[in-house]
Structure 1
Amino acid sequence: MKELTKAEEHVMKVLWQIERGVVHDIIAKLPDPKPAYNTVSTIVRILETKGFVDHKAYGKTYEYFSIIAKKDYSKFYLSNFMDGYFGGSFKNLVSFFAEENELDINEINELIALAKKDSKSDNHE
C-alpha cells in the first residue's frame, strides 16, 4: 500500500463517506473552494492506479468506489507515522503526547482505561 498525498486523501475521505459516486458527487462533498472537475477526475484515476479505487462504467459515466477500507489505510498510515517519528514504539508516541500536552496522571490513567476497553471490544468482534 502506498501513502496518499493530501489531495488524494481528501478524495478518499469523501469516497469512504459516500461509498460510491461519480466525480460530481465527490466534488459536492469537498470543502470550498471546490477543485475543478478535471482535477478531481485526475486524482480519482491516480487512486485507481494506486489500487485504492475501482469503478463501474455506465456508458461514458464512471461510478467510483473504494476498494481499500478506511480502517486498513488508517492502520497503515499510523504504522508508518510511528516508524518514522517514534521508532515504531507506541510507548514513545504516548510519552511524546503526554509530555507535549502536559497530561497529568489521572488523564494518563483515563487513556489506559480507554485503550483496555477498546482492546476488549476488538477481541469480541
Structure 2
Amino acid sequence: MEKLPKISEAEYEVMKIVWEGSPVSTNEITDRLVSDTDWSPKTIQTLIRRLVAKGVLSYEKQGRMFFYTPAVKEEEYLRRKSSSFVDRYFHGDFAALVSAYLDSEGLKKSDVEALKGILAEHEGKN
C-alpha cells in the first residue's frame, strides 16, 4: 500500500480488533465495540464499510457472514503514522519530539532503560 489513507480514531479502534484476531466477523467486531464503547451496531458497521472503501480492510463472505482481514499490517501503519507525525509537528526532528515529551510527561526509570535497549539494538543498523 503506497499511500496510507487517513484513519480516524474510531476507525482505528476497529482496526485494532481486526489486527488482533483476523479474520474477524462483523459480529465479533460489533460485540467487542458495543461492550467497550457507547457506539450503536449501525455506527460500527459504517466504520467497517469506510475502512473497506479506504482499502485498509478486506473481507470474505462465508455463507451469510463477512470476515475481515487487514490490508495493511499494524506495524506498517504505526511506522508510517509516527513518521508523518514527527514530520508534521516536529519538522522531522525526532529528538525534538522526545524532548517535548520529556518536558511534559517525564519518564520512569524502566522507560529510560527500555529506550536505552532500543537505541543500543538499533545503533549498529545505521
Q: Is 1:11–1:44's contact at 8 Å kept on the other side of the alignment? A: yes
State the partner residue of 2:12. Answer: 9
Unaligned runs of 5+ in 2: none
Q: Determine if the alignment matches structure 1 residue 98 to structure 2 residue 102.
A: yes
1:26 equivalent among 10, 29, 39: 29
State the partner residue of 1:44. Answer: 48
Match of 1:57, SS state, is strand
State the partner residue of 1:55. Answer: 59
1:78 equivalent among 79, 82, 107: 82
CA drift of 1:107 comes to 8.1
Work out the number of aligned pairs and report it: 121
Match of 2:36, SS state, is coil
Unaligned runs of 5+ in 1: none
CA drift of 1:33 comes to 3.7
Match of 1:62, SS state, is strand
2:89 and 2:38 map into 1 onto residues whose CA distance is 33
2:92 and 2:29 map into 1 onto residues whose CA distance is 34
1:101 and 1:39 map into 2 onto residues whose CA distance is 34
Match of 1:2, SS state, is coil
TM-score if structure 1 supplies the norm length? 0.80
1:114 equivalent among 112, 117, 120: 117
2:110 and 2:63 map into 1 onto residues whose CA distance is 56
Q: Using the aligned pairs only, state the percent identity.
A: 25
TM-score if structure 2 supplies the norm length? 0.79
1:15 and 1:109 map into 2 onto residues whose CA distance is 31
